[in-house]
Structure 1
Amino acid sequence: METDDLTAAELRVYRAFARGATVDFRDPPGEDTARGAEWGPERTVRAAVLRDLLLDPPRQDGEVASLRLKGARVTGALDLQYASCEHAVQLSDCFFERVPLLYGARLRQLDLRGSVLPGLDSATLRVEGVLRLTGCRFAGPVRLGGAEVAGALFLDRARIAAPDEDRPALQLNHVTVGDGLSAPGLNVLGEIRLTGAAVAGSVDLSEARLDHPGGSALDGQTLGVEGDLLLRRAQVSGRLGLRGSRIAGRLDLSYARLSNPLGPALRASSCTIGEIWLRKGPPPTGGLNLRRTQVDVLFLEPEMVPDEVHLGNLVYTSLDPHEPAERRLPMLERDRDGYVPHAYEQLTAAYRRIGDDRAARLVQLAKQRRHRGTLPWYGRLWGHVQDAAVGYGFRPLRAAGWLLSLLALGSVAYTVHRPRALKPAEAPEFDPVFYTLDLLLPVISFGQESAFAPAGWYRTLAHVLVLTGWILATTVVAGITRTVSRQ
């Protein structure tokens, strides 16, 4: 590189590069980088000069060369497309007049923290170390699709404003991150696209603000995260889409505010997730879609369930926190797919795993009542009879109560009107209580029913007692059998 054509500011950068020294133009250090267009030539560096330094670097024996520049105004486009650079690049708190072009570049490390840029074009970028965009402000889209970052990717407190409906504001589709993606406090106006991305660590979007009303705020289809996906205290306006994703750790939406009135606020269907936490916040404005998802722990507070849910074929091992069945059942009743038997079976299984048989019975009773609404009129009528009489068999004590009531009715009726003996010489002494028990109990015989025959209305009463006795006694036995088998 010919140094005769360099300005005083560029000459400082050139001389510091070979020694890996930092050139800091900031004055004062806490100034607003967004006003970088006003900075004069004393802190202006041409992008072409930086490119030449990186591609044809000066060397000094015993020193590790690197580009370390702070508080500069970079004019022109920093074009490193398909270039390979073996030196660390730090351009922090800099003001870029044009979008850096890093498509297909290979860098050792890139640090743009605190800089202001009109955008970033760095799809298929390869970074051997860390890619740091902490506190950056972008006035246009950031393209990192297909990038490979061997270390961590930092986007904490970054701001991206690119509300273009046709292109995402932040493209991270098919990105590969060898460590974690740290972006707490990220502020994005537009869509974040994480489809097909693979993160070996965790994705931290805590306290992030993602704003894309009516569209997809975060599109993470088939996202793979080996750690946690954290959205604690995040504010998401638009759809949070995670269809087909795999999250080994926790999807944490504690204290988060999700809003998408025109569709699902959270779509996490066909996913495999270690834990889902929806707690300590307002219910999502919009739907909750967890169809065909497999979860080990579903931490879902009843207050966090929105008015519209889709739970078909959702599988979970544990449901926390432990709540009475009366507080969990409204969630199943809000399922827009209608009556979903599998959802009731999952909730029943969750209660049985922790030994809450009463709650499990209530869920099964609610399932039968919900199923009743799908039957024709005669099926619904018979269902109401079963419900009133024995609670579909899940309230056997009610059946015992009916048996005692019928026993009292029959005993009084046959005391008032004693049935005639079929063979008076051989008939035992008539006992109205045991005669009624003979009619009600289908297995036990006290020798009364076969010896006496009522007439008229009392014969009809006998037939009713026999029929109801069969139904109620079978229900009691089935209820006791279910209880014993579970124990």
Structure 2
Amino acid sequence: MLAESRLTKAERALVEAVRSGAVLEGGNEIRAELIRDLLLGRHVDRPDPRGVQLSGARVVGALDLDFVQSPVRLRLADCEITEIVTARSARLSALDLDGSRLPAFHADRLRVDGNAFLRGVVANTDHPQGAVRLTGAHIAGNFEANGAVLTCTRGPAFMADGLHVDLSVFLRRGFTAHSDDHHGTVRLIAARVDGDLDLNHSTITNSAASAVSARGAQVGGNVYLADNFTASGAGPAASVVLHSANIGGMLLVSGELSNPGGPVLDLVHTRSTSVYLDDRLLCAETCDGRRKMRLAGFTYASLDHTGWERWLHWIRHHTVDYAAQPYQQLAAVQRAAGHDAAARRVLITQQEDLRDRGDLRSRPWGKLAHRAWGVVGGYGYRAGRTAVALLVVLLMAGAAGVAAGQVPTSPGHYAAERTKNARAPHTPCSLVEQVGLGIDRGLPLGATGLRDRCDLNTATRQGQAFTVLIWLLQGAVWALATLAVAGYTGLIRKIT
């Protein structure tokens, strides 16, 4: 504690300002130790609830607020603070550092009973723990750092893992953060924000890792990454990581995201009530598929102003690898809205993507069979195709019967002729009988009975050849009939 007799004129004026609730303005030089004493209730028996208020001052020395419990607020506006400010495990009524310049602010487990303002703060450091650090902190009001400029070369610019804010977090209106650290620039991992998370009009960059990482964050309201929001990252991690985040409102992304070494957006296992992604996010000047995102496990109730066809295009051409869930989710949303045709289109595209990027790539025959199934039956989502194919094969069987009735085996005899049960045995079958023979042979079930009067002569090579041909057609009829039934009942779709 500073002795009363050692206080300077400016410091005595600050003591009187705390007693009366006034703001001490001007270019005064104040020792950091006095600020700590005043927050602890020293020098003033009954401090005004407005607390310690300095504007335009120069604070010298280490401002150590660790474990300080104070019923009054701290306001250092437009001040120059010469050393790192620490407030670990402290509790303050309110905090306001608007417009101040300082090396860094480290306040793990800080508790603020009201709002915490770092608007316009400028912090530049190479400290490995970051420029602004609020790990595990709890702020009962809003947290605002609008217009702040944070730079850290060896650590995150804004480190707030486990932060809990009862209202909203605003990092907007010119908020700028840069880091060269592999831990990321702005970190809100496992943070809880009961209101909105707003990063509109902010610029966040990192030369080695993610620009924004909010893995596992819980946001009760909306997440805004729009209106001139810029995030530039590097490496395999996405520029913006919202992996496993839970968003109670809308996720709005319409800024400029870039990452030359990996995806721009990670929404793996993220949950949101609604989502809007601007076209320019992935298809800026051209849509060449180079900008990617991760979507596996992302769930939402609606696409807010984002057309399902555009979303389908992104899943197909702008995801890092194939995953079934994004297609299933989009189809479920379309089906819930009554757009069954759109849902079928989505699921057919899923099968095409599975063929091109899924496990089928390592199985050439499986890939070929999958492609054939798509052509014949639309992967079970266009069963009408299968019915048409079944009809075509039956017509081929009828044509085979006609052909057999035209191929001679010996003078006056043909590969298909009347049987001994007919009125004129061993004579040529009529055209109707030949067609009926082919269909009768091709049908797996439900024979027409024509073979009692007209059948293939299997004692001849020609008759045997036509028998084998019709067996093959019969097998095709079996397969197509099975697929048609499965397609109409949804069995194939349930399996795949």
TM bracket (short chain): 0.7 to 0.9
Q: Which residue of 1 aligns with 2:168?
A: 180
CA distance in 2, matches of 1:322, 1:432: 58
Q: Does 1:87 align with 2:72?
A: yes
Q: Which residue of 1 aligns with 2:411?
A: none
Quick one: which amino acid aligns to residue 145 of structure 1? Answer: T
Change (3 A) 1:119 1:369: closer
1:72 to 22, 45, 57: 57
Q: Does 1:266 align with 2:256?
A: no
Are the aligned partners of 1:135 and 1:156 in contact in 2 as well (CA < 8 Å)? yes
Q: Does 1:354 align with 2:357?
A: no
Are the aligned partners of 1:282 and 1:303 in contact in 2 as well (CA < 8 Å)? no
Quick one: which amino acid aligns to residue 443 of structure 1? Answer: L
Q: Which has the higher strand share?
A: 1
Q: Please report how far the alpha carbon of residue 211 of structure 1 lies from its aligned counterpart in structure 2 after TM superposition.
A: 1.5
CA distance in 1, matches of 2:476, 2:439: 12
Quick one: which amino acid aligns to residue 178 of structure 2? Answer: L
Q: Does 1:328 align with 2:312?
A: yes
**Farther-moved stretch of structure 1 (387-396 vs 212-221):** 387-396
Q: Please report how far the alpha carbon of residue 95 of structure 1 lies from its aligned counterpart in structure 2 after TM superposition.
A: 1.7
Identical columns (%) = 28
Are the aligned partners of 1:163 and 1:212 in contact in 2 as well (CA < 8 Å)? no
Quick one: which amino acid aligns to residue 216 of structure 1? Answer: S
CA distance in 2, matches of 1:362, 1:91: 59
Q: Please report how far the alpha carbon of residue 18 of structure 1 lies from its aligned counterpart in structure 2 after TM superposition.
A: 1.2
Quick one: which amino acid aligns to residue 121 of structure 1? Answer: H
SS of the aligned residue for 2:146 comes to coil
Q: Which residue of 2 aligns with 1:197?
A: 191
Q: Please report how far the alpha carbon of residue 20 of structure 1 lies from its aligned counterpart in structure 2 after TM superposition.
A: 0.5
Quick one: which amino acid aligns to residue 255 of structure 2? Answer: A
Q: Which residue of 1 aligns with 2:105?
A: 120
Change (3 A) 1:434 1:133: same
CA distance in 2, matches of 1:327, 1:311: 11
| Correspondences of 1:53-452 after superposition (within 5 Å) | 53-55=38-40, 56-59=42-45, 64=49, 66-140=51-125, 141-164=131-154, 167-185=155-173, 186-190=175-179, 191-233=185-227, 234-238=229-233, 239-253=239-253, 255-283=254-282, 307-318=291-302, 323=307, 328=312, 331-332=315-316, 335-338=319-322, 340-369=323-352, 371=354, 373-374=360-361, 376-406=363-393, 414-415=401-402, 417=405, 419-422=416-419, 423-425=421-423, 430-452=432-454
CA distance in 2, matches of 1:66, 1:376: 72
Q: Which residue of 2 aligns with 1:462?
A: 470
Are the aligned partners of 1:325 and 1:360 in contact in 2 as well (CA < 8 Å)? no
Q: Over residues 72-97 of structure 1, what are the superposed CA-to-partner deviations in whole Å (9 max), with x where a residue is unaligned? A: 22233333332332222222122222
CA distance in 2, matches of 1:128, 1:250: 28
Query: Between Structure 1 and Structure 2, how many residues are aligned?
Result: 448
Are the aligned partners of 1:312 and 1:337 in contact in 2 as well (CA < 8 Å)? no
Q: Over residues 324-366 of structure 1, what are the superposed CA-to-partner deviations in whole Å (9 max), with x where a residue is unaligned? A: 669726624665445x444544444444333444344444444
Q: Over residues 245-283 of structure 1, what are the superposed CA-to-partner deviations in whole Å (9 max), with x where a residue is unaligned? A: 333333322x22222222343334344444443224332
Are the aligned partners of 1:410 and 1:436 in contact in 2 as well (CA < 8 Å)? yes
Are the aligned partners of 1:18 and 1:64 in contact in 2 as well (CA < 8 Å)? no
Quick one: which amino acid aligns to residue 102 of structure 1? Answer: A
Change (3 A) 1:275 1:448: same
Are the aligned partners of 2:49 and 2:71 in contact in 1 as well (CA < 8 Å)? no
Structure 2: stretches of 5+ with no match in the other structure: 126-130, 180-184, 234-238, 407-415
Are the aligned partners of 2:245 and 2:271 in contact in 1 as well (CA < 8 Å)? yes
| TM-score after normalising by structure 2 | 0.76
SS of the aligned residue for 1:262 comes to coil
Quick one: which amino acid aligns to residue 252 of structure 1? Answer: L
Q: Does 1:471 align with 2:479?
A: yes
Q: Over residues 217-264 of structure 1, what are the superposed CA-to-partner deviations in whole Å (9 max), with x where a residue is unaligned? A: 2333333322233222321112323334333333322x2222222234
CA distance in 2, matches of 1:86, 1:327: 51
Change (3 A) 1:150 1:345: closer
The CA RMSD over aligned residues, in Å, is: 3.8
SS of the aligned residue for 1:145 comes to coil
Q: Which residue of 2 aligns with 1:31?
A: none
Q: Which residue of 2 aligns with 1:453?
A: 455
CA distance in 2, matches of 1:308, 1:438: 55
Change (3 A) 1:270 1:15: same
Are the aligned partners of 1:19 and 1:66 in contact in 2 as well (CA < 8 Å)? no
SS of the aligned residue for 1:139 comes to strand
| TM-score after normalising by structure 1 | 0.78
Are the aligned partners of 2:277 and 2:306 in contact in 1 as well (CA < 8 Å)? no
